[in-house]
Amino acid sequence: MIRQIDVSFTGSTFVQIFAKQGGEAYASAMWHIWHILSEVSPFLGSVFSHWQIWLSGGGILGLIAIIVPQVEKLCGKSLSKRTHVYLFLIAFFLCACFLSWVDKDDALKSEQRGRKEDSAKSQGDYGKLQGDCNSLSSQFQYKSGVVDALASQNRDQQNTINNCQTQAVKLLVPIPLQVVPIAITKDKDVDGKWQDVWVVVVNKRTSPVNLAIQCDQNVSDVRVNVPEDGRGVRYGTRGGEGMSNVALVDLKFPDATPTNPMIVSFRHRLPKANCRMERTE
Per-residue pLDDT tens over the stretch 234-264: 444 443 344 578 888 777 766 778 888 888 8
Q: What whole-number distance in Å separates Cα of residue 186 and Cα of residue 226?
A: 20
Q: Are residues 76 and 136 in the same domain?
A: yes
Are residues 212 and 183 both part of a single domain? yes
Give the best-scoring range by mean pLDDT among 118-127, 199-208, 246-255.
118-127
Are 21 and 74 within one domain?
no
Do both 258 and 190 map to the same domain?
A: yes
* CA separation, residue 31 to residues 4, 9, 21, 204, 236 (Å): 13, 9, 14, 113, 137
Whether residue 209 contacts residue 262, with contact meaning beta carbons closer than 8 Å, is answered with: yes
Per the DSSP assignment, residues forming a β-bridge with 39 are none
Q: Are residues 44 and 95 in the same domain?
A: no
- CA–chain centroid gap for 69, Å, is 89
pLDDT reported for residue 37:
67
Position 249, amino acid: V
**190 and 115 together in one domain:** no
The answer to whether the CB of 215 falls within 8 A of the CB of 268 is yes
- Whether residue 164 is contained in a domain is answered as no
Residue 193 located in a structural domain: yes
Q: What are phi and psi of 212, to 5 degrees?
A: -125, 125
Q: Residues 266, 271, 274, 276: what is their CA dihedral angle, to the nearest 10 degrees?
A: 10
Q: 68 and 36 in one domain?
A: no
Of 83, 118, 143, at which residue does a domain stop?
Answer: 143
Q: What angle do CA 247, 272, 212 make, to 5 degrees?
A: 20
> Does residue 149 lie in a domain region?
no
Which pLDDT band, with edges at 50, 70 and 90, does 155 fall under?
A: very high
Gap between the Cα atoms of 55 and 73, Å rounded: 27
pLDDT tens by residue, 78-122: 767 777 677 777 777 777 777 778 788 888 888 898 889 988 898
| In the predicted structure, residue 169 carries a pLDDT above the cut 70 | yes
Q: Are residues 130 and 186 in the same domain?
A: no
Question: Could you tell me if residue 204 is inside a domain?
Answer: yes
Tell whether 100 is covered by a domain: yes
What's 214's domain CATH number?
2.60.40
Note whether residue 197 is domain-resident: yes
Do 40 and 118 share a domain, yes or no? Answer: no
Question: How many distinct structural domains can be found in the chain?
Answer: 3
How sure is the predictor about 26, in pLDDT bands with cuts at 50, 70 and 90?
low
**One domain, residues 28 and 94:** no
Same domain, 271 and 221: yes
| Helical packing angle, 12-48 and 81-172, nearest 10° | 110
Residue 264 lies in a domain: yes
**Is residue 152 included in any domain, yes or no?**
no
| 27 and 71 in a common domain | no
Name, of 48-52, 156-160, 240-244, 249-253, the range with top average pLDDT. 156-160
Which structural domain, as residue segments, surrounds residue 108? Answer: 57-143
**Phi, psi for 280 (deg, rounded to 5):** -120, 155
pLDDT > 90 fraction of the chain, expressed in percent and rounded:
11
